[in-house]
Structure 1
Amino acid sequence: MIERLKRKLRHNDDHGSSFVLVIVATTFMCILASAILMGAMMTYKLKFYKLNSLNNFYEVETALDEMYAGVGAATNEHLYSAYTTTAELVVVYDTKAQAFTTLDNKSANELFKKLFMTGFVADTNYKSLKNVTDTLQSFISNEYDAVDNPDGVRLDTSNMKLIYTDVNNKTTTQYYKNNGGIKTEKQSGYENDKVQSVTFKNVCVKRSVNLQGSTAGTYEQSITTDIVLTEPEYNVSFDTSSVSNNTLYEYAILADMGVEVGEDNDNRTTDAQVKGNIYAASDYYNKDYNDVAETKVTNKYESKPTTMWGTKESSAYSGIFVNGKNSTLTLNSDVVVCSGSLAAYNGAEINLSGRTQTLSELWADNIVIGGKDGGSLKASADAYIFDDTELNAEKASLKFTQGSYFGYSYNAQDTRSLNYLRQKGYLATGYKLRSHFSDSAIIVNGKNSTLDLQDLNSLYIAGKSYIEFSKIAASSVPEDDENITVDENADYAFTTLKDYSTGQSLDVKTNQLMFLTQWSVVNNTEKVDPDTGITTVTLQFPKTFEADANILDLYDDFLKDLATEGEKGVTAIKQTVSGHDYYYLYIEDGKDSSNVSNAEKFAEKYYKLLQDYGDEISSKLYNVQKYEQFQVKLVLPAEGKINASGAVTDQNNDDSLFLRASTTTTMDVATALDNVSTGKVFTNILGNKGTDNNKKAFNDLKADALKLAGSGTASDEEQTSTFLSYMYINMKDHLSVLNNVDDKTKRTQNAWEIANYTSSSVGYLSSYDKDRDTYSYDYSITPLNHYVDLAYVFSKNLSIEKTIGNATDNEAKTIVINSGDVKLQPNNGDGSFQGIIIAGGNVRFDENVKSFRGMIITGSKLIIDHNMSISADAAFVANLLEQCSESTDEKLNTLTTKVLKNYTSSKSEGNTEVTGASISDISYEDILVFQNWKKNVE
């Protein structure tokens, strides 16, 4: 059998083997092709994932966010316009009945909603598809340009439609035809005056993306969505019977030692939003009222190690201090009064706009962006800045989207107007505040920073920048110096030296190099100037400079012959920093026939020399015109919108700097002030009584301001400074610029009198004595003393926390009165806290508190260290105070009978309970939404 099988096998052919080989080879090729296809598919899948990732869609999503915010701003304008119009019509005169009648809340809301929708539909920017297209396009900051910005975002309008829908769901639609024209289709029965929603349909933004490597190619990202605006579903309250005509109730926060937001912590995020007006003051200067029991508002002022008296950044820039790159503060505030700094530190972000309109009204000592890299402030505001605006951090950004800027402080005598401290042990004893408080300027000290002011209606800078000689390192103070005593933890102290004024109102740090001269010192020439207290030396003028006629001409006004024949010298100011001596060209005060200061003339000559001779001259002089190690971006308004007392540093298209001379920045300041005085916020502060009466009140305030002795003969800069200072003083006293009426004598008090100036036959006199330099504006006042009797709180050591209402239904309201610190838990199940807080110490909220509604008054600080919102609500506060005034609970009743001064009930007959939301709670996010969101890549 075995032999037979062997014979069979020997006679078989190999055709079957070939067939198997073919099958194996084919299978291998299929596997190989499959692998290649899978690889290609994986490549394209990775490419698809890459293109559709959030980061790659950042630009187009940002463009849609900008459109949403832009339409939202217009929505808010129309909401509040409709509200204020309705509020004026709530009480109307019935000619038939010959009596005033009141619209009920239901009728008022019907009118409010109708006015809102008709107002928006009639808005020029949104009344036609072409206008809508142009308006949405204008909101895109990273706009496509074939030449300058090919990677930008563009709006594709090919399928875009504008649809109005009425109450019966009938529509009218506008869309683009193939030839570019616009066609309108209206459904039968559509009613123009009953629009209930507006839809911007198929809003499409696109951006081209170039990829390299295995995914090389040009791809187009797009997002298509509908932006839908609907009539408000909620009702708002038009019952004003319980709302006092008192600006205090519009304030969300009154913090006498400032508001602190966030911390410099990479692992912690703080996103805070404030809706309502704010008063916030510095924690360390002009607190003399805390030395008197009757006017004390906090015990924290005695806590020197805590406040550090301005020696730490959070104290030196206290007021509104936002700290850390993960910290953001959004202010929707019609009025911000900050007698301290508005400061973004260590990468923090601040956004400021109005609440009832887009513009806010900002009054502050200064604006500062400092600390580590980054930090930004974006503002839609009319800003009145008493001191400087400083971009000190690298990569800092300051942008005004609209409004006007008045840097108004100016005093020709360069006086020190504010006191630091009266006691020894924690800073320089008995010295007045840093001298640059007498001059407002804008200074860019951080490289790679952006200053964008081009959208301002007017830019006014009354003062000049400075090189700070008055501040010195604490470590450099000799131990045996009897005049300067500093705390062991202090970083710096202040001296009697005045700061070095430059010739520029808007300055860049590198411009200081024009004045910095590191030449050899001539022996035995160091001396202290008896008039200024400044140490001066004579420097040997370089021989190479003497041989250059152009440079010789630049320094000609400062040169003097030395004892050695043929040698020349210049006088310089000596400053020692960290053991190293620096010398600054000594330019004495003085002006030419054109009223241009000596320092400005020198700066102009320096810039012109660089402009005329370029590289040839910059080998000998610092090239401040284009200093490679210090890049900045300056975008300023047109020349006709600027007025400055000194030169203004501006930028050419090639990024080189140039100077606008003060003689060319000729915007009329009086006209600019008149323009802002007719604005909605400004007139509300004045006490809105109609255009004519507001104008009269404005002119009366000007006349009152000029009652300061000698101001009638002062320069335009000094008169403007006097007027705005007058308003600032009065606002800090009682949050209004109207004259005060003394409670006891019932006599009207001028703001100068409130600030402790002396009345005389020639006006109000200050205590300035130039021979002794004892000048002082006494800003030692606070609105807390006008409204709140914290002395009573301290004397009784009050600690009250009483709740009204039901927390389960989220209707709980709590009254908190405390002489010390408070930290509050939510008083409602939704994580909110509603009520009124009055404290002599710091106010904090537990991290479980997501929102606050009401009013916070603290003699110390409000500290926000987590994500939350704070909202003022005038009607809510007024109603809550009514309840407290009527309560039989002694603790609740204490608020209106003892703690709040001169509380007067505003209740009238009828129901005072607010029905519906307060106008303070209205937000466009409730009625403006995205629908049908689609991402695509081609």
Structure 2
Amino acid sequence: MIKRLKNKLKHTDDHGSSFVLVIIATTFMCILSAALLMGAFMTYKLKYYKLNSLNNFYEVETALDEIYAGVGAATNEHLYSAYTTTAELVVVYDPATKEYTTIDNDEANDLFKKLFMTGFIADVNYKNIKSVTDTFQSFISNEYDASTNPDGIKLDTTNLKLIYTDEAGKTSTQKFSSGRPRTEKEAGFKNDKVRTVTFKNVCLKRTVELTGSEAATTSGVYEQSITTDIVLSEPEYNVSFDTSSTSNNSLYEYAILADMGVEVGEDDDTMATDLQIKGNIYAASDYYNKDYNDVSSTKVTGKYDRTSTTKWGSTSESAYSGIFVNGKNSKLTMNSDVIICPGSVAAYNGGQISLSGRSGTVSELWTDNIVIGGKASGSIKASANAYVFDDTELNAEKASLKFTQGNYFGYSYNAQDTRSLNYLRKYGWLATGYKLRSHFSDSAIIVNGKDSTLDLEKLNSLYIAGKSYIEFSKIAASSVAEENKVKTAEDEKDPNKIKVDDNAEYAFTNLTDYSTGQSLDVKTNQLMFLTQWAVIEGSEKTDQDTGITTVELRFPKTLSTDVADATDKNAKIEALYGALRDPDSDDLKVSAIKQTVSGHDYYYLYIEPGEDSNGISNAEKFVETYYDLLGDEHDGEYYTSTLNYNVRNYENFKVKLVLPTQDKINASGAVTAQNKDDSLFLRKSTDTTMDVSKSFESASTSKVFSGILGNKGTDENKKTLNDLKADALKLSGSGTASEEEQTSTFLSYMYINMKDHLSVLNKVDDATKLTQNAWDIVKYTSSSVGYISSYDKDKDTYSYDYSVTPLNNYVNYNYILSNNLTIDKTMGVAADNSAKSVIINSGDVVVGANNNDSSFQGIIIAGGDVRFDNSVKSFRGMIITGAKLIIDHNMTISSDAAFVANFLEQCSESSDENTKLITTNNILKKYDSTKKEGNTEVTGVSISDISYEDILEFQNWKRNVE
């Protein structure tokens, strides 16, 4: 059988087999081609995933955010402008009836919305497609430039459109056609009925080049793009124009009153905290001006009782308490008309702070210090009139301080500490027993962190009354050797012994800080005073009164020859150092201050205090001569290296200084500025020509400042301002002080009173008695030479009757603390389905949400720390704490005067006695009912709670890589 089959197969036609082989071969080739195509497809798919997983859209998204924020800022301005205009028209005079009539809330809101939309459409920056293009490009900080920034962001206007849509849905469209603007309108479009403004097809592009082994499958040049629409809509909400039930008490405008500061975030890379505060803020330091806590009648907290082991001020956190933002993932945004901070506004360890107004774009900031410290990259950005009693310091590397508008008045330059009631104690000592640092009474701007940026270019005026210093008084606690620490009572008498608290980060020496004669100083300038010349044996001595140790230094041999030489070159060296020599000695030697840090001795040239007939200090003249010497070329060489440090362009310490023009600056000392080539130069104090009096008057007529003065109208406020200035100037004697000194004295007067009462006005308590302020307590009396004090700070007894803070001025903490009071009451759900709560506690408080939308609404008064648990995303109302407000997660805090006033009215009518208690004098000392017969209920939100995020949005977001 098998043999037969074999024979049959031999004679079989093989044409079919060939066909099958062809089919198989073709199929194989198809499979192979498909595999190759699939491989190529997967390669490009991986390339696409690679491009979109490298976070390389960051730059483009950042530019879009900048455009969004820019349009948002304009939106806010037009919202507030429309609101202000409407508010002025709510009560109108009808010439027909010769009576005043009131527009109701609905009519007012219709007018408000119309004014907003017409105002935005008429904005010169957005009125046509060309203006929009120019405006958007101006917002992009990383803008494309073919020669200087080829990796920058380009705005593609090919399909960009500006579209207005009216209430009937009809549109007017502006776009570019063949590079020229063109407008198309639908029939029936009504320009006065616009409801939305759309920036259509906003397209940003960036070229990306991938190279190297990491991008082996994706190497090449690609163009990233993001296209989106930005849509601005007419507000859907109504705002309240009925303020009949709103109290005029400025207390209700405060979102926060924290007597020992506000702390935001932690220095923890795993945590992020983003806090936004809408409302006024009072935030004081935790370590001075706390005498009132020693007496029950004025005590505001039991949290930080003073004891012999108190460590206030001995840690970084405490030293910069006030407003303290800590950690690179921590951010604080303040939309506040008034911020009073008798402490520091501090961005620490990379923290970020943004500050602007609430009812306008500019805030009023009153503070002791502005500080960026700790680890690298902290930043503060402010739109503010800043009144800074002490220094502004950029201490961290890569620190950034920028003012976008406003004025800066650094106004304190006094021999005594007049910041608070603490100056009733012995001169030069803090309440903690620490010796007062001398520079506390100065007000300079100091850049200590390399790679830092100080941008003050947009300021209308820059006034710096104080001078910088070399800090001898504070050193790291770890640098103090055991044998140099105070351990016994006998050690305390030794000026070379240093008191170091357990676990403290730093300690104070007995040395006085050393003025450099500069109002704006960069750390490298200290090299001018630092020398390593040889110490003359046996010359060291310590002044028992000041604690300063001085030594005699001998010029090096080459420099001795230079000084003795009469040539022009060496005459300049003589001019620099010759005045420091001992005129009675043949030895070429100079005096120097010795400072020991971490076991190393440093010697600083000692320049005697004093000034010439023009008021230029000896220190400033030295610095001026030094800078002139660096810029004076002689025989093809500059006087640097072996003779002098080149502080003009010190390669190990780069900074960026952007300052106003000299006619916008007034400084008591020299100002370090920067050339276009990044080298530093010195602007002499005689070259800063701003008129301080005019600049201050211009700044003080702002809306917020007028509100502080009493809000009686421009003319009346100016009169009040002048009356207050006249009273304050008696402190220095009439007619003898310069304009600069008068401004500083007046601002000091303002600040002290604000810390006591949140107001500079003396209010009448009864028919015969004015509320006393800090000046009254010291018993100043007027004389022909100014105010004279009869108070003996070392001998007289001291009464706490008027030792007040804003807290015990408004709140009866004595009742809360003595009764260990605890109240936690939630009112019934309101018409808007929101609950409101009253929390009063003598100790610490941790608050949870009282509404389903993760909000808490109400009033919190605590003697201890106030915290919110993670359930709370927003707060509306008022927080008063005798200790600290501590925020460690993302949330918003918002004040609303109408809300607080109406809620307190509701509490006063409550049948619950505990709830009602808050409106009696037992809790709120100065509460007055705001209810009047015939009042209508306030409806709608407060204008201050509205943000441009509510009406401005992205739509149709598209990302692409080509």
Q: TM-score under structure 1 normalisation?
A: 0.92
User: How big is each residue's C-alpha offset from its partner over 1:67-116, in whole Å with a ceiling of 9 and x where there is no partner?
Assistant: 11111111111112222222232233344444433322212211211121
Q: Which moved more, 1:877-886 or 1:801-810?
A: 801-810
Cα distance change, pair 428–877 in 1 and its aligned pair in 2 (3 A): closer
Aligned mate of 1:601, from 621, 642, 647: 621
Cα distance change, pair 562–333 in 1 and its aligned pair in 2 (3 A): same
C-alpha distance in 1 between matches for 2:889 and 2:419 = 37
Matching residue of 1:554: 576
Once the two structures are TM-superposed, the CA of residue 751 in structure 1 deviates from its matched residue by 5.5
C-alpha distance in 1 between matches for 2:31 and 2:379 = 58
Cα distance change, pair 890–416 in 1 and its aligned pair in 2 (3 A): closer
Matching residue of 2:191: 192
Cα distance change, pair 766–810 in 1 and its aligned pair in 2 (3 A): farther
Residue type at the aligned position of 2:51: L
Residue type at the aligned position of 2:465: A
Q: Does 2:807 correspond to 1:784?
A: yes
1:50 touches 1:56 (CA, 8 Å); kept in 2? no
Q: Does 2:939 correspond to 1:915?
A: yes
> Equivalent residue of 2:690, what SS?
coil
> Equivalent residue of 1:896, what SS?
coil
Cα distance change, pair 929–331 in 1 and its aligned pair in 2 (3 A): same
Cα distance change, pair 528–781 in 1 and its aligned pair in 2 (3 A): farther
Q: Does 2:618 correspond to 1:571?
A: no
Matching residue of 2:70: 70
1:369 touches 1:375 (CA, 8 Å); kept in 2? yes
Q: Does 2:775 correspond to 1:753?
A: yes
How many matched pairs?
927
1:648 touches 1:661 (CA, 8 Å); kept in 2? yes
Counterpart mapping for 1:59-458 below 5 A: 59-178=59-178, 180-213=179-212, 214=216, 215-302=218-305, 308-411=311-414, 413=415, 419=422, 430=433, 432-458=435-461
C-alpha distance in 2 between matches for 1:272 and 1:374 = 19
C-alpha distance in 1 between matches for 2:126 and 2:51 = 33
Once the two structures are TM-superposed, the CA of residue 158 in structure 1 deviates from its matched residue by 2.7
Cα distance change, pair 932–916 in 1 and its aligned pair in 2 (3 A): same
1:798 touches 1:817 (CA, 8 Å); kept in 2? yes
C-alpha distance in 2 between matches for 1:381 and 1:286 = 26
C-alpha distance in 2 between matches for 1:588 and 1:297 = 45
Once the two structures are TM-superposed, the CA of residue 804 in structure 1 deviates from its matched residue by 0.6
2:424 touches 2:778 (CA, 8 Å); kept in 1? no
Counterpart mapping for 1:669-818 below 5 A: 669-710=692-733, 712-737=735-760, 739-748=761-770, 753-754=775-776, 756-762=778-784, 763-766=786-789, 781-806=804-829, 810-818=833-841
C-alpha distance in 2 between matches for 1:671 and 1:765 = 29
Cα distance change, pair 66–304 in 1 and its aligned pair in 2 (3 A): farther
Percent of matched pairs sharing the same residue: 72
2:346 touches 2:373 (CA, 8 Å); kept in 1? yes
C-alpha distance in 2 between matches for 1:891 and 1:391 = 49
Matching residue of 1:525: 539
Matching residue of 2:867: 844
Matching residue of 1:903: 927
Residue type at the aligned position of 1:238: F
Once the two structures are TM-superposed, the CA of residue 856 in structure 1 deviates from its matched residue by 0.5
Residue type at the aligned position of 2:373: G
Aligned mate of 1:543, from 557, 561, 568: 557
Once the two structures are TM-superposed, the CA of residue 61 in structure 1 deviates from its matched residue by 1.1
C-alpha distance in 2 between matches for 1:377 and 1:67 = 21
Residue type at the aligned position of 2:693: A
User: How big is each residue's C-alpha offset from its partner over 1:815-840, in whole Å with a ceiling of 9 and x where there is no partner?
Assistant: 11121111112111221111111111
C-alpha distance in 2 between matches for 1:151 and 1:113 = 42
C-alpha distance in 2 between matches for 1:21 and 1:390 = 86
C-alpha distance in 2 between matches for 1:112 and 1:753 = 46
C-alpha distance in 2 between matches for 1:657 and 1:33 = 67
Residue type at the aligned position of 1:896: T
Once the two structures are TM-superposed, the CA of residue 725 in structure 1 deviates from its matched residue by 1.2
C-alpha distance in 1 between matches for 2:158 and 2:228 = 13
Matching residue of 2:610: 590
Residue type at the aligned position of 1:156: D
Aligned mate of 1:638, from 627, 637, 661: 661
C-alpha distance in 1 between matches for 2:508 and 2:767 = 42
Once the two structures are TM-superposed, the CA of residue 810 in structure 1 deviates from its matched residue by 4.3
Cα distance change, pair 20–276 in 1 and its aligned pair in 2 (3 A): same
Residue type at the aligned position of 2:725: K
> Equivalent residue of 2:531, what SS?
coil
Once the two structures are TM-superposed, the CA of residue 691 in structure 1 deviates from its matched residue by 2.9
1:258 touches 1:860 (CA, 8 Å); kept in 2? yes
C-alpha distance in 2 between matches for 1:669 and 1:428 = 34
Matching residue of 1:488: 502
User: How big is each residue's C-alpha offset from its partner over 1:744-779, in whole Å with a ceiling of 9 and x where there is no partner?
Assistant: 45445686635645123344335799999x9xxx99
1:414 touches 1:439 (CA, 8 Å); kept in 2? no
RMSD (Å), alpha carbons: 3.1
User: How big is each residue's C-alpha offset from its partner over 1:22-65, in whole Å with a ceiling of 9 and x where there is no partner?
Assistant: 88887776666555544443343233234334721111111111
Once the two structures are TM-superposed, the CA of residue 147 in structure 1 deviates from its matched residue by 2.1
Cα distance change, pair 422–701 in 1 and its aligned pair in 2 (3 A): closer
Q: Does 2:485 correspond to 1:477?
A: yes
Residue type at the aligned position of 1:225: T
Cα distance change, pair 668–32 in 1 and its aligned pair in 2 (3 A): farther
2:632 touches 2:639 (CA, 8 Å); kept in 1? no
C-alpha distance in 1 between matches for 2:31 and 2:561 = 84
Once the two structures are TM-superposed, the CA of residue 363 in structure 1 deviates from its matched residue by 1.0
Unaligned runs of 5+ in 1: none
Once the two structures are TM-superposed, the CA of residue 285 in structure 1 deviates from its matched residue by 0.2
Q: Does 2:952 correspond to 1:928?
A: yes
C-alpha distance in 1 between matches for 2:387 and 2:758 = 15
C-alpha distance in 2 between matches for 1:74 and 1:454 = 21
Once the two structures are TM-superposed, the CA of residue 280 in structure 1 deviates from its matched residue by 0.3
Residue type at the aligned position of 2:394: L
> Equivalent residue of 1:204, what SS?
strand
1:261 touches 1:323 (CA, 8 Å); kept in 2? yes
1:562 touches 1:568 (CA, 8 Å); kept in 2? no
C-alpha distance in 2 between matches for 1:422 and 1:700 = 30
C-alpha distance in 2 between matches for 1:420 and 1:697 = 27
Once the two structures are TM-superposed, the CA of residue 535 in structure 1 deviates from its matched residue by 1.3
Cα distance change, pair 335–428 in 1 and its aligned pair in 2 (3 A): closer
C-alpha distance in 1 between matches for 2:878 and 2:23 = 85
User: How big is each residue's C-alpha offset from its partner over 1:703-750, in whole Å with a ceiling of 9 and x where there is no partner?
Assistant: 22212143641233322211111221222222223x212414544568
Cα distance change, pair 186–293 in 1 and its aligned pair in 2 (3 A): same
Cα distance change, pair 689–429 in 1 and its aligned pair in 2 (3 A): closer
Unaligned runs of 5+ in 2: 563-569
Matching residue of 2:567: none
Residue type at the aligned position of 1:635: V
Cα distance change, pair 403–49 in 1 and its aligned pair in 2 (3 A): farther
Q: Which moved more, 1:528-537 or 1:914-923?
A: 528-537
C-alpha distance in 2 between matches for 1:654 and 1:711 = 46
User: How big is each residue's C-alpha offset from its partner over 1:379-408, in whole Å with a ceiling of 9 and x where there is no partner?
Assistant: 111111111111111121211122121111
C-alpha distance in 2 between matches for 1:39 and 1:755 = 87
C-alpha distance in 2 between matches for 1:124 and 1:202 = 21
User: How big is each residue's C-alpha offset from its partner over 1:614-633, in whole Å with a ceiling of 9 and x where there is no partner?
Assistant: 66622443222222222222
2:733 touches 2:787 (CA, 8 Å); kept in 1? no
